[in-house]
Amino acid sequence: MNRKHRVFSAMRVWAIARNTFTQLVRMKVFYFMLIFSALIIGANLLFLSFTFEQELKILKDVSFGAMSLFASIFAIVGTALLIPKDIEDRTLYTILTKPVPRIEYLLGKLLGILLLIAASILLMSLLFFTVLYIRQHGILAERIASFPRQVSEAQIATFREDIFSRGLQPELLLGVLAVFLKAAVAASVALFVSTFASSTLFTIIVSLVVYFIGHAQSLALDYYFSGGEIRSAAQRFFAGLIAVIFPNFQLFNVTDGLTAGEVVSTSLMARLVGLTAFYLTIYSLVSWLVFAKKEL
């Protein structure tokens, strides 16, 4: 039975994504979990001489810092490896000689790496939240035990509220989401670079440069447009161009505030999701434009 060939098929994108995910998993990338575990368990054990507020903050800082670092490394290095490896293994030719549009190939690769990032962040979050949960209960028990008098139920409730409000809170999930969104944008940048790069190393270096410039771009724009005010159309165009080429990664660093006990609204997070979608779309389209013309 002949089935009509579709110009764009989500199923084909999904098949490539699954394949990419499997390919990356077989590279034994999940060994990083050992390092991550050592880091946060170490952070949990080393800092016993501080107040519980500082102790929990350090635990959150180390965990979020490591999550952000690993997620960004996966995003950039993992994506940089994809196309060159497919060329080296000749998989790319096998795929593209079939009726698979190049945009589907790119989207499948991007989705695959996003799946890997999501899976690794999920694993790290589970470990992080488990350690945080255990630690906050440990702190509560220590506080009750060290109290000079018999502790009443009301006092225990106060201690619990005091400690837990600085521990495992639902807002931390927003931080986890922000880490994922940032890594997703970094992956899309790396995907774009890899479409015209001559080597994996080049892709990694250029993507890292964009990553760091992206963190400093708002500072540079603030400096260029003193006072942060953009007046003329030319200035607006220039600022917009800079913002598209170098995504403002600082916007994704909500964990800095969250670990210090600040609150981020869900509406703002929704806008961050929208911004990520915008960058993913723009970079995917530009990657496609470059990759479509590329001679393989």
Query: Interface with other proteins by CB under 8 A: which range of 8-16, 28-36, 84-92, 243-251?
Result: 243-251
117 part of the interface to other proteins, by CB under 8 A: no
Q: What are all long-range contacts of 47-54, with beta carbons under 8 Å and residues at least 24 apart?
A: 52/139, 52/143, 52/163, 52/166, 53/166
If you ran DSSP here, which 8-state letter would residue 235 be given? H
What is the C-alpha to C-alpha distance for residues 33 and 141, in angstroms, rounded to an integer?
Answer: 29
What is the C-alpha to C-alpha distance for residues 66 and 60, in angstroms, rounded to an integer?
Answer: 10
Q: Which residue from 99, 257, 293, 296 is in contact with other proteins, where contact means CB under 8 A?
A: 257
Within 266-295, the residues that bind other proteins by CB under 8 A are: 268, 271-272, 275
Nearer to other proteins, 99 or 274 (CB): 274
User: 């997070």: which residue's tokens?
Assistant: 269
Nearer to other proteins, 34 or 263 (CB): 263
- What character string, x for contact with other proteins (CB under 8 A) and - otherwise, covers 67-86? -xx--x--------------
What's the token pair of residue 267?
């509406």
Q: Which residue from 65, 151, 171, 205 is in contact with other proteins, where contact means CB under 8 A?
A: 65
180 part of the interface to other proteins, by CB under 8 A: no
What is the C-alpha to C-alpha distance for residues 75 and 73, in angstroms, rounded to an integer?
Answer: 5
Nearest to 164 by CA among 140, 145, 146: 140
Q: Which residue from 58, 73, 100, 119 is in contact with other proteins, where contact means CB under 8 A?
A: 58
Using a 10 angstrom Cβ sphere, with 0-12 exposed, 13-18 middle and 19 or more buried, the burial of residue 136 is buried
Query: Interface with other proteins by CB under 8 A: which range of 55-63, 73-81, 120-128, 140-148?
Result: 55-63
Residues with Cβ within 8 Å of residue 81, at least 6 apart in sequence: 27, 200
252 part of the interface to other proteins, by CB under 8 A: yes
169 part of the interface to other proteins, by CB under 8 A: no
Positions touching other proteins (CB under 8 A) are 47, 49-51, 53-54, 57-58, 60-62, 64-65, 68-69, 72, 182, 211-212, 215-216, 218-219, 222, 248-257, 259-265, 268, 271-272, 275
